[in-house]
A and B are shown apart, each in its own frame.
Chain A
Amino acid sequence: AQSVTQPDIHITVSEGASLELRCNYSYGATPYLFWYVQSPGQGLQLLLKYFSGDTLVQGIKGFEAEFKRSQSSFNLRKPSVHWSDAAEYFCATLRQAAGNKLTFGGGTRVLVKP
């Protein structure tokens, strides 16, 4: 069965500093991978996705993620964090089978210090 692990439950970063959120997946074939952001009281907004091709994926809000097959990772990065980036971030993988359901990681809550 596929699974997604986000090792960091909380990360605190200073405004203007860089951010990296870790995501590891367990899946036999090449997965479809996603990063979602959830601001307090809000829904899930897609930041970026990887299906195939270039392993460095650009997303919205200045985020990027890199797919590394050898490490089974899809880490999310942003060079300079803004206070509005404080939110919970979810990595997810999609299984191309009946239902095409997403499997989510446990999430990483990002706090931004002024």
Chain B
Amino acid sequence: EPEVTQTPSHQVTQMGQEVILRCVPISNHLYFYWYRQILGQKVEFLVSFYNNEISEKSEIFDDQFSVERPDGSNFTLKIRSTKLEDSAMYFCASKGGQGDGYTFGSGTRLTVV
């Protein structure tokens, strides 16, 4: 069964450093997403991406965040200058069409120290 792959599975970074979280969505999918889950809290939407542009973003997704689909297979989330409160599990997801369900990756646990 096709999978969404996320790397790394864990990342520890110092406050103020840039991080890039990587995702390889399912190859024929058209819609791409990032969600995050702070420990003990609900899963929150960050951003959706379709047709090579952001289609919607949440209030969390401020200027410190950016997404990119550089080569038609990878989908990355960059945090420019990490803060302690960015520590969370970050999930990538993709879906094929409007009526399809999401497929989530297994997540990247980001710890900012």
Given contacts A103-B45, A104-B42, contact A46 B55 (CB under 8 A): no
Tell me the nearest residue of chain B to A99, going by C-beta: B56
Contact B99 A51 (CB under 8 A): yes
Contact B106 A102 (CB under 8 A): no
Complex partner residue of B104 from A44, A49, A107, CB under 8 angstroms: A44
Interface SS majority for chain A:
loop
**A55 surroundings in chain B (CB, below 8 A):** none
Interface size range on B against A = 20 to 34
* CB of A31 closer than 8 Å to a CB of B: no
Could you list which residues of chain A lie within 8 angstroms of chain B, going by C-beta atoms? Answer: 34, 36, 42-46, 49, 51, 90, 92, 96, 98-107
**B107 surroundings in chain A (CB, below 8 A):** 42-43
Could you list which residues of chain B lie within 8 angstroms of chain A, going by C-beta atoms? Answer: 6, 31, 33, 35, 41-45, 48, 50, 55-56, 91, 93, 95, 98-99, 101-107
Complex partner residue of A46 from B33, B56, B102, B106, CB under 8 angstroms: B102
Interface SS majority for chain B:
strand
How long is the Cα–Cα vector from A105 to B41 in the complex, in angstroms? 10
Given contacts A42-B106, A44-B91, A44-B104, contact A102 B45 (CB under 8 A): yes
**A106 surroundings in chain B (CB, below 8 A):** 41-42
Contact B105 A43 (CB under 8 A): yes
* Nearest 8 pairs of A and B residues by beta carbon: A99-B56, A43-B106, A99-B48, A44-B104, A104-B43, A101-B45, A99-B55, A106-B42
**B48 surroundings in chain A (CB, below 8 A):** 98-101
**B105 surroundings in chain A (CB, below 8 A):** 43
Q: Quote the shortest CB–CB distance from B96 to chain A (angstroms).
A: 12
